[in-house]
């Protein structure tokens, strides 16, 4: 196999990652004087703010995913390739990918972030992260399978392990998944498992700092804590997870919690990419850039989104929050700057415009910070739904999400409670492994256009 991008007299921009930042850049480079190539290890864009609803059976995966090729349509200036980037060669200006080499004129790293386990090997090996649709599907399968096993389990200790849920991380993802699982306990378990004592299901939310939602206001943090208490979620602040082994969570307070459902949303980082020097990377592995999003020390390499730490914004000296809005705004601005570069115009430095932040905890329970205004309860919950519904790609997806939300609100039911496991046939697994080994070993030089 090869990347097989047609020859073109246009300069080539390669975008690594089709998240919020990469997708905005791709869309705003339409009809530009560049050839654009998008590389992603999935063939679809996923909507991270709603991934927790996949994990808790509230939505179908297809409702928050959108195929890249459908987005590209009949564009003749843009191409998508399903591949994993293995290394970057900045001097030679090419990428080594799982399907071959790809040369570039400009490279944009928009690969996002991954779960940070802080070098705790037992936790990394056994915890369940929730960063992608695939991981959320795995968590949903685990939750539902544990309910089924708890129903037939003869051992009381094992039943408690199956029913206890431990969530690490008090940011938006942790708060939202804790609230969603609490609502499953309140509404789903009594109807689906009437002979299973839902009162034995304990939900723990562990946060290392003294407050939830650290990026939001103190008012939002206090309200979120109050809402979680209302849902009978046991919140433990100023507490660290020391280890997880033998189906037991060990806390810094000395307490131990038996659990087979150990969810880790306690932090993110950017994995090292061979070819990017250490001096170009900052805290959590993020790529250090100037205000024009050029990676420090590298020529014609840019970074946007969660993987970038953009300097020059006096309001965010430690980098912008790793959320959707900074990524979207950076993608749009970089597209304008590329067009300015082609026409000899002036480049504009990035300055993030904070449009607010919000988090939902449950039915009619949410918090929102909009400028100096702070909202909570039903209005914040309705605002949260409206903003997220507007941001989802595709009319069909918007309608599917809206219908599922309306159905859940009216019936108190979550309709996507299937345990679905997929396994590739052995012949396809072997073929994929051979292809990966072949193209990883081929490191001779950039292909000619």
pLDDT at position 447 over 50: no
CB within 8 Å of 267: residues ≥ 6 apart: 115, 116, 118, 169, 284
Specify the pLDDT at position 417.
78
Cα 29 to Cα 36, 316, 328, distances in angstroms? 8, 27, 14
Percentage, residues of the chain above pLDDT 90:
72
Express each pLDDT in 374-412 by its tens digit. 999 999 999 999 999 988 988 988 999 999 899 888 887
| pLDDT for 436 beyond 90 | no
Q: Name the DSSP letter for residue 335.
A: H
pLDDT of residue 36: 96
> Mean of the per-residue pLDDT values for the chain?
90
Q: Could you report the per-residue pLDDT of 39-80, keeping only the tens digit for each?
A: 999 999 999 999 999 999 888 888 999 999 998 888 888 999
pLDDT tens digits, one per residue of 69-92: 998 888 888 999 999 999 999 999
CA-CA-CA-CA torsion for 401, 403, 408, 414, nearest 10 degrees?
-60
- CA-based angle 169:163:266, to the nearest 5? 10
pLDDT at 76: 87
On the question of pLDDT at 125 being above 50, the answer is yes
| pLDDT at res. 445 | 47
Given the candidates 3.30.70.120, 3.30.420.40, 3.50.50.100, 1.20.1630.10, the CATH classification of the domain at 121-266 is 3.50.50.100
Q: What is the DSSP letter of 185?
A: I
Does the pLDDT at position 444 exceed 70? Answer: no
Asked whether the predicted pLDDT for residue 428 surpasses 70, the reply is no
Question: 192 is written with which tokens?
Answer: 């689906």
CA dihedral 132, 133, 134, 135 (to 10 degrees): 50
Tokens representing 157 are 């200790």
Query: H helices then E strands: how many in the chain?
Result: 13, 24
pLDDT of res. 57: 87
Q: At what angle do helices 378-391 and 395-411 cross, to 10 degrees?
A: 150
Q: What was the pLDDT predicted at 424? A: 55
How far apart are alpha carbons 322 and 318 in whole angstroms? 11
Higher pLDDT: 198 or 302? It is 302
- The two three-digit tokens of residue 84, written as one number: 């994993």
Helix (H) or strand (E) segment spanning residue 400: helix 395-411
> What are the pLDDT digits (tens) for 139-198?
999 999 999 999 888 888 999 999 999 999 999 999 999 999 999 999 888 888 898 889
pLDDT attached to residue 449? 41
The predicted model scores a pTM of: 0.88
Residue 122 — very low, low, confident or very high, per pLDDT cuts 50/70/90?
A: confident
Q: Percentage of residues in the chain with pLDDT exceeding 70?
A: 93
* Per-residue model confidence (pLDDT) at position 448: 39
Instruction: Report domain 11-41+83-113+270-343's class.
Output: alpha beta
Task: Answer with the residue of higher pLDDT: 266 or 418.
Answer: 266
Task: Read off the pLDDT band of 426 (50, 70, 90).
Answer: low
pLDDT of res. 302: 98
Can you give the residue ranges of every domain in the chain? 11-41+83-113+270-343, 121-266
Of residues 374 and 428, more confidence is placed in 374
Confidence band, pLDDT 50/70/90 cuts, at residue 2? low
203-218, pLDDT tens digit by residue? Answer: 999 999 999 999 899 9
How would you class 410 by CB atoms within 10 Å of its CB: exposed for 0-12, middle for 13-18, buried for 19 or more? exposed
CA distances from 199 to 127, 196, 208 (A): 24, 9, 27
pLDDT for the residue 431: 61
Tokens of 67: 């195929």
pLDDT value, residue 410: 84
The confidence band for 423, taking pLDDT boundaries of 50, 70 and 90, is: low
* 11-41+83-113+270-343 and 121-266 have identical folds: yes
Q: Where are the alpha helices (DSSP H) in 29-164?
A: 51-55, 68-72, 121-126, 133-152, 156-163
């Amino acid at each position: 196999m090869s990347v097989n991008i047609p020859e073109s007299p246009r300069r080539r921009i390669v975008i690594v990652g089709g998240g919020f930042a990469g997708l905005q850049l791709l869309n705003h480079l339409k009809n530009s004087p560049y050839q654009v190539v998008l590389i992603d290890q999935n063939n679809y864009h996923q909507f991270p703010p709603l991934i927790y609803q996949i994990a808790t059976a509230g939505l179908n995966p297809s409702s928050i995913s959108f195929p890249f090729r459908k987005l590209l349509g009949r564009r003749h200036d843009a191409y998508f390739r399903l591949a994993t980037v293995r290394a970057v060669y900045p001097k030679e200006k090419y990428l080594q990918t799982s399907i071959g080499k790809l040369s570039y004129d400009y490279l944009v790293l928009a690969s996002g972030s991954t779960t940070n386990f802080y070098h705790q090997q037992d936790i990394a090996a056994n915890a369940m992260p929730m960063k992608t649709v695939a991981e959320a599907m795995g968590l949903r399968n685990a939750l539902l399978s544990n309910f089924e096993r708890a129903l037939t389990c003869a051992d009381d200790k094992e039943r408690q392990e199956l029913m206890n849920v431990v969530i690490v991380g008090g940011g938006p993802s942790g708060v939202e998944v804790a609230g969603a699982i609490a609502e499953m306990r309140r509404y789903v378990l009594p109807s689906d498992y009437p002979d299973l004592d839902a009162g034995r299901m304990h939900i723990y939310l562990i946060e290392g700092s003294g407050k939830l939602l650290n990026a939001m206001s103190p008012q939002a943090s206090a309200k979120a804590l109050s809402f979680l208490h209302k849902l009978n979620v046991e919140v433990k602040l100023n507490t660290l997870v020391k280890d997880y082994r033998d189906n037991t969570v060990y806390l810094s307070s000395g307490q131990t919690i038996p659990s087979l459902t150990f969810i880790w949303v306690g932090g993110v980082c950017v994995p090292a990419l061979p070819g990017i020097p250490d001096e170009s990377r900052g805290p959590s592995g993020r790529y250090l850039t100037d205000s024009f999003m050029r990676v420090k020390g590298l020529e014609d390499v840019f970074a946007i989104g969660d993987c970038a730490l953009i300097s020059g914004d006096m309001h965010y000296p430690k980098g912008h929050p790793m959320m959707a809005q900074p990524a979207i705004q950076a993608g749009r601005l970089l597209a304008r700057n590329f067009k300015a570069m082609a026409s000899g115009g002036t480049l504009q430095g990035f300055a993030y415009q904070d449009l607010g932040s919000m988090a939902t905890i449950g039915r009619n329970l949410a918090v929102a910070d909009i400028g100096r205004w702070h909202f909570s309860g039903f209005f914040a919950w309705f605002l949260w739904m409206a903003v997220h519904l507007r941001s989802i790609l595709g009319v069909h997806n918007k309608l599917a999400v809206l219908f599922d939300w309306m159905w859940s609100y009216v019936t108190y039911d979550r309709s996507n409670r299937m345990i679905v496991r997929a396994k590739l046939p052995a012949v396809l697994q072997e073929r994929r492994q051979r292809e990966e080994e072949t193209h990883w070993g081929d490191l001779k030089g950039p292909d000619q256009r």
